[in-house]
Structures are given as C-alpha cells and as structure tokens.
Copies of this chain bind each other. A is one copy, B any other.
Amino acid sequence: MRVVKVGFLGFGNIGSGVYQVLRDNADLIEHRDGLRFEVKRMLVRDVNKNRKFMVGTKLTTDVADIAGDPEIEFVCEFMGGIHPAREYILEVLKAGKTVITANKQVLANCWPELQAAAQESGAGLYFEASVAGGIPIIRTMWDSIQANHIDSIMGIINGTTNYILTRMTEEGLSYEEVLESAQKLGLAEPDPTSDVEGYDAMYKLSILGSMGFHTRLPIDVIYHEGITKVTKEDIAYGKEMGYTLKLLAIGKKRGNEVEARVHPAFIPNTHPLASIRGAFNAVFMHGDAVGDLMLYGRGAGDLPTASAIISDLVYACHQDKHRYMTFKNQPFLDPGTTILEDWESEYYLHVKVVDKPGVLAKMTQIFADHEVSVASVFQKNTSAKEGSASVVFVTHKTRELAMKSVLKDLEAEADVLEIKNCIRVEEGEQDA
C-alpha cells in the first residue's frame, strides 16, 4: 500500500466532493489499487470561510505551501477561470508535481504552455474532469480508440443548455421562463452567458477535437452560437417534423479539413443524442474501426466530477512515466490543417412575411438563385390583423455560405418582415 499526498488548488463544491469520495471510498481504492490518498494542503482565498469540511490548518492562502512541499506529489485544481489558475498550475508543474485539473477554460486557453511546463519537469497533466464531468471521454480517446481515425464528434456537453432545451421541449415553455427557473434552482449561473452563448461547450470542443483529431484545435477557430434566440415555436415546429433541438458541439475531419462549431441544431428523434435529457451529457463519435460510439452520463456535479478527478489521480499513480498529447504543442492551428467554414448542413428557417400572393414565389426564387434546394415549406400561422404569416422552410443538404447568402437576400426583401430563426439540421449519419 502506497500513501500518496495530494494538494488542492481550491476547496469549494468540487474540491469538497473529491475530499468526500477520497474519504468515504478510501478502503475501496486501497483494495483495488493499493493506494491511500491523503489531502495535505488546500489553497483557498479565505481560510476563515465556513466550509462543508472543516480541515483547520490544512488550508493555506499561499500556493508556495503546496508547490514547495516535497511530500506533495499530485495537485488537483478546481478553481475555474484562467487567472490565477494558470499561474498556480504552472508553479506546481514547474515544481515537478503532476496536475489534475477540472478546468476546461484554462486548458482550452493555455494548453500548450501548461503541457510544455509539464514536459519540462517530467510532471503529468491530466484533465478527465474538464470535459463532460463523470463521463470518461478523455480516457476513452486516450486509451481506448487509439487505433481509430475519428472523423466525427457530436456532443451535448453543456448541461445547463440541455436542461433548458429539455424543459422547453417537454413543457412547451419559453427560453426566458426556463432560464429563470433554472437560475432559481441553481442549475444556471446568475450570469448564464458562458453556458447559453456556447462558450463553455466551445472550450470543451477545443479539448475533445484536439484529442480526437490529433491536431491543435484552438478556441479561436471554433464557430459558436448560443440558444438565446430559440423560441418554443421553433421547438414545436421541429417536433412536428420528427426533430429534437439540442445545443451540439460538432467536430468533423476529412483529410486536413476540420469543422468545429457549437450551435443549436435539430437532430432526428431516432438519433441516440435526441434522447439525452436534462442536465445529462453525451458524446457521440465515429471512428473508422470502432464505428459509432457514444458515452452518456453526468456532465457536472460535485460527485461525478470527483469520480473523474480521482480516476486521474489513480491512473497517474500507475504511470511509470507520464505521457503527453502528441499533436503539435502550439497555441494555433497546425499548419497544413484548414478550418472549413463552408460546411454542409440542412437548414430550418422560420420567417415572418407579408401575407399576400406572390411572397412565397419571391422567397423560393431567392433559394433557387443560390442553388439551395428546399425540401419542405409550411405556412404555420397567419395573423389577419397584422396581415402577416409565419413560414417554415427546411432545405436539403447545402453549404453554410450559400445559406448565408439566402438569408442576406431574404433580409433585403420588403415582404419579409422578420427572419425569426435559422437553425441547422444535423442528420447525424449513423451506422446501419
């Protein structure tokens, strides 16, 4: 049995979860892996704050107490945010201590720098908990599908937006109604921007895509669009057509071309991702050998995240020599790789138009001008008082830039009163 001393950077909700599981399941971990973890120091901002676990003098406000402690081998970081997490992580890595982080933001933004520091000192850098909470998606990419060219990753990797969209779908509520309720329940932040505008999913896609495609996928090449414009009408219209609306993080790779985008998308109800409800996460991938593969579970929460962090701790203890990502360790996209901005998709378009003869003909002509083929068109409701009608188009597969041209021309058309929403439709090809 080996006793392993650990330091924590942060001791809030996640840190308390790790502390609790390490304590409650200590016998299990010792029995299985011959390891006993002892959390020696926790770095916090305020040692006097009331905490779930009162650990007295283990608390410190000085990172040097952890970085400079020769007994501490592993350091877990769950402060969140870039600063000062980045600086603290660098300091302990430079001191030769292996870092286990749950912090997607610092990893997505500072990965090359962190990895370089780890490699230089021979320390490990582990981050299972940074994407999709308790779901072992990082380890799966690292240790289970190594022999595969991954050509597609589609993830529901933000629990807050999936919770909001699920309730909008199942209860017919508006975005604003559900957001307010989610904030009251603590399921959405007081400032929900990072979740609802797709930043959080973008960080995670940067990590997943980099690993899956063996090429650095920095956040600045990822297109992102949030769910704030989604209406209950859009969801209801999609439902009628057999679609479920999700905030998807999509990465695709063909040769040296990579697509990377986060946006709301309709997917067929028969797709496994359509049934992912509430705050759950799932990542659906396709590899040339393994075929379709999906992992599903809790994307957040103290204990699921603790499960992932401790899995890294145990895993790291068994490594004779730490390994590092083999893609080029640089802050920018690999030379030779290009980001495809003109990707293919189908599109759902909801427009409010003047209710008079000839308007539909004008609109369909605009689609035709840009060689966008319309698969179906429905007039959804008319308001005699306003003299307006809502029209929903669904296109066949077309190019993003062609669709953008359609939108531009529709906006310039006098009889088009408002483009309510344009939502991509991902058929999400599945193996037979």
CB–CB B296/A294 < 8 A:
yes
Complex copy number for this chain: 2
**Shortest beta-carbon distance from A318 to chain B in Å:** 7
CB within 8 Å of B: which A311-333 residues:
311, 314-315, 318, 320-321, 323, 326
**Shortest beta-carbon distance from A36 to chain B in Å:** 13
> Interface code A291-322, partner B: CB below 8 Å = 1, 0 otherwise?
11111111001011011101100110010110
Binding site secondary structure of chain A: mixed
**Interface residue tally for chain A (C-beta within 8 Å):** 56
**Shortest beta-carbon distance from A66 to chain B in Å:** 22
**Shortest beta-carbon distance from A169 to chain B in Å:** 13
**Shortest beta-carbon distance from A309 to chain B in Å:** 9
**When the two chains form the complex, which single residue of B29, B139, B275, B292 contacts A297, counting CB atoms closer than 8 Å?**
B292
Chain B residues with CB under 8 A of A301: 291
**Shortest beta-carbon distance from A417 to chain B in Å:** 40
CB–CB A307/B135 < 8 A:
no
**When the two chains form the complex, which single residue of B32, B134, B147 contacts A293, counting CB atoms closer than 8 Å?**
B134
Q: Indicate whether A145 reaches chain B with its CB closer than 8 angstroms.
A: yes
> Interface code A241-278, partner B: CB below 8 Å = 1, 0 otherwise?
00000000000000000000000000000001001001
- Interface locus among A105-113, A201-209, A282-290, A370-378: A282-290
A31-B214 in contact given A139-B140, A272-B275, A291-B134 (Cβ < 8 Å): yes
A147-B21 in contact given A31-B214, A32-B326 (Cβ < 8 Å): yes
17 contacts across the A-B interface (CB closer than 8 A): A21-B147, A32-B146, A32-B326, A135-B293, A136-B145, A144-B311, A272-B275, A289-B304, A289-B307, A290-B298, A291-B297, A291-B298, A291-B303, A291-B304, A293-B295, A294-B297, A295-B296
Q: Which residues of A contact B (CB under 8 A)?
A: 17, 21-22, 25, 28-29, 31-33, 128, 134-136, 139-140, 143-149, 214, 272, 275, 278, 280, 287-298, 301, 303-304, 306-308, 310-311, 314-315, 318, 320-321, 323, 326, 431-432
Can you name 8 extra interface pairs (CB under 8 A) apart from A25-B288, A28-B148? Answer: A31-B214, A136-B143, A136-B144, A146-B311, A287-B307, A290-B307, A293-B298, A294-B294
